[in-house]
Amino acid sequence: MYKLGQATILEIRGRDRSKVLNNVATQDLRNLSAGQAFETFITETKGRSLGHGMAVGVSDRHLFVTVPGQAERLFAHLDRFIIMEDAVVKDVSNEFDTWLISSEADFPESLGGFPGQQKSNECIVDGEVVIGLWAPWVSSTSALLLVPNRLKDQMIAKYSGQSTESDLVERRAWESQRIANFWPWYGQDFDDKNLPQEINRNEQAISFNKGCYLGQETIARLDALGQVQKKLVRLKLNTEVLPDLTDPSQVALLSDETEVGQLKSVAQDASGEVVGIGMVKRSHFSPGTNLVAGQARIPAKIL
């Protein structure tokens, strides 16, 4: 269990909250209801990714939960497209502390137990609502807890022996798990220059059968073509020294002497294995492809 701090959390209330969220999302959220949680991209008119995270249905509202620092832009984006709909968007990021539970077995039964895949739950603690939601950040059964601020000290006291202080920037102690589970991190592995299909999460986060939404034409056209020119991939690196991701000379992914991609994330797991996420051109992104990373020419294999 990792205590992470403040994520970006947007709240959408009102009768048309599902419609509003569905209109800007790649996932089919037309019938999003309490007890559900789905991975989705938030897109703009040209189909590019403005955000990536979890759309969550709770009893009287919807939430969109994503990486820190995205609230202002995403709030403006959602609010802009509320015209006649009965819906109100609010940034509630600073109302919650975020905790990451690594697996179903680690989820406290006293907090409602593991919500299940594509599920969420609510648990009343001292009159406050603690929200649990499936979030496949570090495993297929990892989950988030959204803990109201008033309960933070109580949670720390109760679970201090089972929890680790971490963060949502460096992701101390769980970054290698995130990479191994291939959960792309918005703002690091990709950003608003990328189309959703380039992130390689089609099955998990994109519905190709839903009705109209922002950017659908671009995304549908790319689906019809059946290919992207680049995409995120997971890599294994043969090194004991992690490349410096702030140094351009260390993150280039090369085939012979030709740059074919960029290393975006890298971490070493408990066994010493180094794993990474990279954006690689179509000519070289097939599993099993051997590349080298940076001037040090670190062997890197696409998984």
The domain boundary, picked from 153, 176, 199, lies at: 176
Q: Is the pLDDT of residue 46 over 90?
A: yes
What is the pLDDT averaged over residues 58-76?
Answer: 97
What is the pLDDT averaged over residues 202-207?
Answer: 97
Q: Is the pLDDT of residue 230 over 90?
A: yes
Q: Which positions ≥6 away from 271 have C-beta within 8 Å? A: none
Q: Does residue 250 share a domain with residue 163?
A: no
Nearest to 190 by CA among 223, 230, 232: 232
Residue 252: pLDDT band (50, 70, 90) is very high
Predicted confidence at residue 11, as pLDDT, reads: 98
For 92-145, write each residue's pLDDT tens digit. Answer: 999 999 999 999 999 999 898 999 999 999 999 999 999 999 999 999 999 999
Cα angle, residue 189 at apex, residues 23 and 251 outer, rounded to 5°? 155
| 188 falls within a domain | no
| 27 falls within a domain | yes
| 106 falls within a domain | yes
Predicted confidence at residue 15, as pLDDT, reads: 97
Predicted confidence at residue 161, as pLDDT, reads: 83
| 165 falls within a domain | yes
| Side chain identity at residue 224, one-letter code | A
CA dihedral 103, 106, 107, 110 (to 10 degrees): 170
Q: Does residue 148 share a domain with residue 6?
A: yes
- Residue 37 near residue 58 (C-beta atoms within 8 A): no
CATH number for the domain including 247? 2.40.30.110
| 153 falls within a domain | yes
Residues 279 and 184: their CA atoms lie apart, in Å, by 11
Domains identified in the chain, total number: 2
Q: Does residue 52 share a domain with residue 152?
A: yes
Residue with the bigger pLDDT between 110 and 188: it is: 188
Q: Is the pLDDT of residue 163 over 90?
A: no
The mean of the pLDDT values for the chain is: 96
Q: Is the pLDDT of residue 270 over 90?
A: no
Residue 160: pLDDT band (50, 70, 90) is confident
Q: Is the pLDDT of residue 162 over 90?
A: no
Ordered strands of the 120-125 beta sheet: 120-125, 128-134, 143-148, 96-101, 2-5, 164-165
Predicted confidence at residue 266, as pLDDT, reads: 98
Residue 208: pLDDT band (50, 70, 90) is very high
Residues 56 and 121: their CA atoms lie apart, in Å, by 10
| Side chain identity at residue 154, one-letter code | Q
Q: Does residue 167 share a domain with residue 248?
A: no
Of 88-102, 155-169, 206-220, least confident by mean pLDDT is: 155-169
| 217 falls within a domain | no
Q: Is the pLDDT of residue 227 over 90?
A: no
Domain boundaries, position 99: 2-176
Which position has the token pair 């599920």? 119
Predicted confidence at residue 119, as pLDDT, reads: 98
What is the pLDDT averaged over residues 20-41?
Answer: 98
| 240 falls within a domain | yes
Give the whole-number percent of the chain exceeding pLDDT 90. Answer: 93
Coil, helix or strand at residue 67: coil
Residue 202: pLDDT band (50, 70, 90) is very high
Residues 197 and 205: their CA atoms lie apart, in Å, by 10
Q: Does residue 162 share a domain with residue 58?
A: yes
CATH number for the domain including 170? 3.30.1360.120
